[in-house]
Amino acid sequence: MTLYHGSREIVEYPEIRKAKFNKDFYFGFYCTKIEEQAKRWASRYGSDGYLNKYEYIPNSNLSYLTFPEMTEEWLDFVVACRSGKAHKYDIVEGPMADDTIYNYIQNFIDGKISRAAFWELVKFKYPTHQISFHSISALDTLTFIGSEVVYGDKK
């Protein structure tokens, strides 16, 4: 299976980087099976970026957590990860909380909206996908196969 990673740089050797902010599935290297989504990631700051492509071969010896769709369990997991709680999985896959959904999650965490209101707000969002790699063994399931320039909307 081909996976994509949008970035400001060519990423031949993926890394897990600890960053200032926690992500949906905690710290990891994030990819998607949706090429257009990765292109948006690559040019999200209005500048040119790169669509990095990888061959992904799952390894049955690794621990996986998969969310086929947004569920209560998915929401609770994302809230925990974004709150800084680590997990034990090598690879986590599921829907992505894009910028709009991220705001809804933050409002839910802050108590500004109820769980029911969250689900009402997200039900009309387009499908997204992310798969995150959280260990060196997980990164070993990826083989870099190339990249291409994605042109941003410079103003």
pTM higher than the cut 0.75: yes
Q: What is the pLDDT at residue 154?
A: 60
Is the dihedral angle over the CA atoms 135, 69, 100, 110 positive or is it negative?
Answer: negative
55-87 confidence digits (pLDDT tens): 999 999 999 999 999 899 999 999 999 899 999
| Contact between 108 and 118 (Cβ < 8 Å) | yes
List, in order, residues 6 or more apart from 40 with CB less than 8 Å away.
Answer: 6
Q: Are strands 130-133 and 29-31 parallel, antiparallel or unpaired?
A: antiparallel
Residue 86's CB: how many other CB atoms inside 10 A? 11
- Cα 75 to its chain centre, rounded Å, is 14
Give the bridge partners for 4, in sequence order. Answer: 32, 53
Between 72-82 and 115-122, two packed helices, what is the crossing angle to 10 degrees?
A: 100
Q: What is the pLDDT at residue 45?
A: 77
Sheet holding 142-150, edge to edge: 2-7, 49-56, 142-150
| CA–CA separation, 6 and 10 (whole Å) | 9
Residue type, 68: P
19-32 confidence digits (pLDDT tens): 877 888 999 999 99
